A and B are shown apart, each in its own frame.
Chain A
Amino acid sequence: MSHILEVRHVTKKFGGLIANSDISFNVNENEILSVIGPNGAGKSTLFKMISSFLPTTTGEVLFKGERISNLKPHVVARKGVVRTFQETTIFKSMTVRESIIVAQHLRARASLAGYFWGTRTAHEDVDSFGQYADDLIEFLGMTEIGNEQASNLPQGNLRALGIAIGLATDPKVLLLDEPFAGMNHDETMKMVNLVRKVRDDRGVTVLLVEHDMPAVMNISDRIVVLNFGEMIAEGVPAEIQNNERVIEAYLGSADDEIGI
């Protein structure tokens, strides 16, 4: 198995605060890898560094052997590593379909001027964008809400829309930011299935950051656990579930409870 993404000795300091300290792990092609940890463990910071929304202090992130850390976000997206956001980050006054069409920016073959003058390539692009949007909407089971304005959608659909926008860029690696947060069991199961489907049918590698333990155990091929900015465990779900340091991080150690 080849490593599509390599996180190498990544450290992030905000002034005196160490948010991430020497994190290293690899993501294999076509797997679903989750980064978990209690609040304040540095998950989000790591996530932003992988997508270049934040620069690293030291260390680097490689995509297919090429450095993608400390670049601009749109450059990383162009290479094929695309992140999603939590539900508030959407194009509010666009419909689902329009959002997906805009998100196919990277697939455009005509230049911006070409679109202005309406060249043949531009027309072909526009047709293929619409076609692709319809396909994607069907793939994600969003046919009924295709022409709804994003700001009118309920929370669960917004997450799916976020993933749709990410997918429309045709990514190799999709980074999902807490896709299950605030969802009930049913919604979570739906989302788990959706993420699986994305991986299986589209051949997209998925790296997600998440709180929801049962969902993570269910969906992940492998798990990386952070606590206080340090990586404390890495392994398949069964290993993580029985890892003492992980249990300690989440529940507090037995000593603490007796001690004071």
Chain B
Amino acid sequence: MFLLAIFIAVPSFIAAAGRSDLYYTLTAVALLSIASAGVWLTFYIGRINIGQGAFALIGAYVSAILVTKVGMSFWLSLPLSGLFAAGVAIVIGVPILRLRGVYFAMISLVLTQVVTLTALALPVTNGAKGITSIPLPGGVSILGLTLIPDFATLENPRLAFYYAACVLMVLTFGAMYRLVNSRLGHLCRSMQQNEELASSIGVNISYIRVIVFAISSFLGGIGGAMFGSIAQSVYPSSFQVADSVNFMLNCFLGGLGYVFGPMLGTLVLYFGWDLLFELGRFQLLAYSSLLIILMLFLPNGLLSLRLPGKKGADK
């Protein structure tokens, strides 16, 4: 159902309405929801993560550098940028994941700023000028069979990006769903609820924390890399602290108890912001007030509105 909707219904609707600019918006939603899914996963082990922007930026830069300087295919650089972000997460995560609650949140908040400043300072990231005119993703073919066409030759690269982002999103959330319902998910829940008790039953909590943080950052890196490729440019300001905060808000809004919460949260938050554009300078005020009201009345997120008995991952 859902797959049909995003792969067939949405494109045909857009074609009918002639609003091809919506492709860009929806692609952004798909990619941001991937990064938000990562944040959601760190919530799942009881850590408030306001640092996903850092990993998205890292992913975007790694991919951009690999494509422009090394001449690597984008499709190869995509997983590599995710892996690089995960590697960074492991190095940073080992010391900082010991912190709990607001202390971890504060450190993670600083991460985004650190990565932004690093990008400004390093020669390889080209400082404030960023990396621009990144070529569109090339084609992939195996034994003469074209798996992914060259985006530059397509007449409608927006649609292609939309499909690519949706495929990534579906893969991400499919994997998340499996993960949450597998043993790792159960262990995460046990840690979220009580780390001491979890370690008393033999769970290596520091190991699992790092693994989860790495997966989270992997998703952040992938989302960021794809974003950079669509914008065909990366700047130190591509992902800022505000973006990190938004990734977290997406999770809150969608519901921390539901795997698909970040997806819905991203969609609502992204469109909500645009819809309030009419209000001009009151946009931010109205937007913030709405968010506060939503969180007061729906502390478990939008998905808690669903009918009981259809509770998905939160069984």
Contact = CB atoms under 8 A, between A and B. Distances in A.
Given A85-B196, A89-B196, A106 B182 contact: no
Majority SS at the chain B contact face: helix
Size band of the A side of the interface? Answer: 35 or more
A95 to B, nearest CB: 10
Nearest to B193: A91
Nearest to B257: A93
A211 B59 CA distance: 57
A72 B187 CA distance: 17
A78 B200 contact: no
B199 A102 contact: no
B204 to A, nearest CB: 5
Interface in B187-224: 187, 189-190, 193-194, 196-197, 199-205, 211
Interface residues of B, number: 22
A130 to B, nearest CB: 12
Interface of B: 175, 178-179, 182-184, 186-187, 189-190, 193-194, 196-197, 199-205, 211
Contact of B200 (A85, A110, A116): A85
Interface of A: 51, 53, 72-74, 77-78, 82-85, 89-94, 98, 101-103, 105-106, 108, 110, 112, 115-116, 118, 122, 125, 165-166, 168-169
A136 to B, nearest CB: 13
A80 to B, nearest CB: 10
Contacts of B184: 112, 115-116
Contacts of B178: 116, 118
B199 A73 contact: yes
Contact of B189 (A53, A91, A115): A91
A77 B197 contact: no
A89 B194 contact: yes
A36 to B, nearest CB: 22
A77 B187 CA distance: 15
Central interface residue in B178, B187, B190, B197, by most chain A CB within 10 Å: B197
Contacts of B203: 74, 105
Contacts of B183: 105, 108, 110, 112, 115, 122, 125
B182 A82 contact: no
Given A72-B199, A73-B199, A91 B190 contact: yes
Contact of B179 (A78, A98, A105, A116): A116
A102 B197 CA distance: 11
5 contacts: A51-B200, A78-B202, A102-B190, A106-B202, A108-B183
Contacts of A103: 201
A102 B201 contact: yes
B41 to A, nearest CB: 13
